[in-house]
Amino acid sequence: MPDWSYRTLFRPLLFRLPGSVARRFTLSAIGTLSRLPGGSFVIKTLGHMEPSPLLQSTAAGIALSTPAGLAGTVDPMGTAHKAMAQFGFGFMEIGPVTVQPVTASEPIRMDIGRERIVYPSYYENEGVHAAAARIAEPGHALPQFVRLTPLPGSTREQALDQIASMMNRLAEAGADGFYLDILQRPAQPEEAAWLLSHLDRPAAKPLFLYIPLLTSEYALDRILSSVDLGLLDGIVVGEARGRTEHSGWRKRIKSRARPCSGTSAGTYPLRSR
């Protein structure tokens, strides 16, 4: 979108609307445009966002047109994924996804002073069945990686069953790979290590461990030292649920991995020890 139209027309309007209404309006508008005859051409013409071939890369053997992907929380319902796929992204993230839908009772809040959107529920999503339907008919050709997380309050056995069933269902729908989002508070590193050691991954589907920003060095060390790194194709560093306290993960990750691609924060391949 040309900067002149956003700054002068759309931004003043959208920042006066409630957060959920502004997001729904924006995504619905661009999503509808992408589905109209000639809509994709209009988006490409206005955006000028065709990625350079020099940006082509791979992640776990999957070809990417660029190493930057669209984070799942930007468009959690996939309303404008067809349009967003023309914005120069190399892949789409779906999620977080839980086995059952999770709704939020509080509204999305606009923090105008800091120019940010605050989401009330980390887990809000339509559930695995809606995600599978969207993945099966995405409206674009970009790889789709799914961030899976257990329902809040699940035991480790319940979490294992939920993640295993979601991986099988979404692999059948056409998902290209999975992020295991199992370290959000109040989860303990021992529980995450147990889950990883008991999980059967779908054949030929890359599997990444999702590490929330500022995960403590203690938690990261307990996991990496107690699981077979051969089970994972890499890690994804991303958003955290609630407040976090430590920042020791940065040096730890860099000592064992090199950057290859990213969503909102970064994706890294793991080296076996």
pLDDT tens, 118-174? 777 788 899 999 999 999 999 899 999 999 999 988 999 999 999 999 999 999 999
Q: Which tokens is 24 given?
A: 């729904």
The arithmetic mean of pLDDT across residues 186-200, rounded, is: 87
Q: Give me the pLDDT at residue 158, please.
A: 95
pLDDT of residue 216 exceeding 50: yes
Q: Give me the pLDDT at residue 46, please.
A: 66
Q: Give me the pLDDT at residue 246, please.
A: 33
Q: Give me the pLDDT at residue 250, please.
A: 37
Residue type, 102: V
Q: Give me the pLDDT at residue 143, please.
A: 96
pLDDT of residue 109 exceeding 80: no
What is the gyration radius of the CA atoms in the chain, in angstroms?
19
Q: Give me the pLDDT at residue 33, please.
A: 77
**CB neighbourhood size of 258 (10 A):** 9
In the chain, how many H helices and how many E strands? 10, 11
Quote the CA–CA distance of 44 and 54 in Å, as a whole number.
Answer: 19
Quote the CA–CA distance of 120 and 64 in Å, as a whole number.
Answer: 32
Q: Which tokens is 221 given?
A: 């060390």
pLDDT tens, 222-261? 888 888 888 889 989 888 775 433 333 333 333 333 333 3
Instruction: Pick 263 or 72 by higher pLDDT.
Output: 72
Q: What is the pLDDT confidence band of residue 271, given thresholds at 50, 70 and 90?
A: very low
Pairing state of beta strands 207-212 and 234-238?
A: parallel
The arithmetic mean of pLDDT across residues 55-62, rounded, is: 90
- On whether the CB atoms of residues 256 and 221 are closer than 8 A, the answer is no
How much of the chain, in percent, has pLDDT values that exceed 90?
A: 32
Name residue 144's beta-bridge partners. 92
The arithmetic mean of pLDDT across residues 183-187, rounded, is: 79
pLDDT of residue 40 exceeding 70: yes
Is the entire prediction scored with pTM above 0.85? no
The arithmetic mean of pLDDT across residues 42-68, rounded, is: 82
Instruction: Quickly list H helices, the chain.
Output: 3-5, 11-14, 19-35, 39-47, 81-84, 128-136, 156-173, 189-198, 217-224, 249-254
